[in-house]
């Protein structure tokens, strides 16, 4: 990434963090224990909601990174060379990192909202299972010394691992009873709608996380190639 791009990314992320606290309005949610004169739940501040700006983009980028790893793994099996394997490994490691960020930020949310960091909620469980699946990917790579065989075995594993991603991230948490909140943010007259300024800040974070992933992927791939060169020389 060019030097100008790095500066732009840094400014973008800094602006997103500042706007998260200074520009985005305070979120509210229904308080069913206190009703108004019409018998409807009143609205109360939802301070923990700001974690949303960090948590959701991290989860989406984790899925993106695992998808990139899967695509590069297909290229490995088609015999496109070492570069695809390097990209698959680098993207898998970044996916693991962003998935961990999503899990930890979700645990902080759980502590603030539900009183404990871990509640065995389906969303927490599925993210943990996903991390364990990709931990197996790294274990497989470390157990096979021969580069060509390692690349092909890891490629098959990566493809099979990604098959579980839609089920663990999107399907299972929606078909099981969960404590995880639905979109119930009410900052306008229409129930369940998100304030436009919240959406603006959220998409700013999403763009920033995407740029951060692209930059880290470039650095990580270069580091993998350098490490391989040192081993072979």
pLDDT of residue 66: 97
pLDDT of residue 223: 92
Q: What is the pLDDT of residues 125-148, one digit of tens each?
A: 999 999 999 999 999 999 998 989
Tens place of pLDDT per residue across the chain (233 aa): 567 777 888 888 888 888 888 887 776 666 556 556 666 655 555 667 788 889 999 999 999 999 999 999 999 999 877 899 999 999 999 999 999 999 999 999 888 877 889 988 888 999 999 999 999 999 999 999 898 999 999 999 999 999 999 989 888 877 877 666 554 444 444 444 567 888 888 999 999 999 999 999 999 999 998 887 776 65
The b/e string for 134-171 (b: 16+ C-beta within 10 A; e otherwise) is beebeeebeeeeeeeebbbbbbebbbebbebbeebbee
pLDDT of residue 134: 97
Could you give the C-alpha distances from 186 to 16, 30, 46, 53, 205, in angstroms and in order? 22, 8, 10, 16, 21
- Read off the DSSP letter of residue 29: E
Q: What is the DSSP string of 133-177?
A: HHHHHHHHHHH--SHHHHHHHHHHHHHHHHHHHHIIIIIHHHHS-
Could you give the C-alpha distances from 23 to 40, 57, 196, 199, in angstroms and in order? 29, 18, 11, 11
Domain extents for the chain?
A: 49-176+195-232
Contacts of residue 132, Cβ cutoff 8 Å, sequence gap at least 6: none
Taking each helix axis from N to C end, the angle separating 82-114 and 147-166, rounded to the nearest 10 degrees, works out to 40
Alpha helices in the chain (DSSP H): 3-22, 52-77, 82-114, 122-143, 147-166, 172-175, 196-232
How many CB atoms are closer than 10 A to CB 80?
12
């Amino acid at each position: 990434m060019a030097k100008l791009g790095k500066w732009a990314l840094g400014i973008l992320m800094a602006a997103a963090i500042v706007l998260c606290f200074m520009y985005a309005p305070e979120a509210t949610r229904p308080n069913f224990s206190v009703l108004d004169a019409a018998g409807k739940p009143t609205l109360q501040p939802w301070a923990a909601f700001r974690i949303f700006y960090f948590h959701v983009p991290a989860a989406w980028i984790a899925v993106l990174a695992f998808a990139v790893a899967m695509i590069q793994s297909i290229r490995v099996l088609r015999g496109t060379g070492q570069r695809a394997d390097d990209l698959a490994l680098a993207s898998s490691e970044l996916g693991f990192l962003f998935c961990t960020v999503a899990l930890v930020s979700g645990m902080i949310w759980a502590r603030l909202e539900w009183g404990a960091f871990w509640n065995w909620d389906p969303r927490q469980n599925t993210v943990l299972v996903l991390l364990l699946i990709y931990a197996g990917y790294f274990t497989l790579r470390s157990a096979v010394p021969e580069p060509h065989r390692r690349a092909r075995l890891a490629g098959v594993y990566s493809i099979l691992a990604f098959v579980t991603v839609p089920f663990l991230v999107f399907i299972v948490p929606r078909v099981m009873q969960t404590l995880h909140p639905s979109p119930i943010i009410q900052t306008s007259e229409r129930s369940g709608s998100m304030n436009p300024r919240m959406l603006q800040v959220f998409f700013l974070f999403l763009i920033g996380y995407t740029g951060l992933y692209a930059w880290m992927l470039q650095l990580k791939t270069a580091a993998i190639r350098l490490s391989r060169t040192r081993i072979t020389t």
